[in-house]
Amino acid sequence: MPAGLHELTDPDPWFGIVSNQRIRRELGFRPIYPSVWTARDAGALRRSLRRVGPAL
């Protein structure tokens, strides 16, 4: 790691975190799994990958 790089921090650690509040408010969207991690733990990601088919 280059010298001094470990001292740099992001001033907004939440930058890039996507909120579903607008789609929930306007369309009533309610995600089945609250995060990717809970979907993975429930096995939802593995099942959906099998349904997609072979890679291009």
pLDDT at 51 over 50: yes
Q: How confident is the prediction for the chain on average, in pLDDT?
A: 77
pLDDT band at 26 (very low <50, low <70, confident <90, very high): very high
For residue 45, how many other CB atoms are within 10 A of its CB? 13
Domain spans of the chain, in order of start: 21-48
Q: Which residues contact 39 (CB under 8 A, 6 or more apart)?
A: 32, 33, 45
* Residue 49 vs residue 6, higher pLDDT: 6
pTM of the model: 0.39
Tell me what pLDDT residue 48 has. Answer: 46
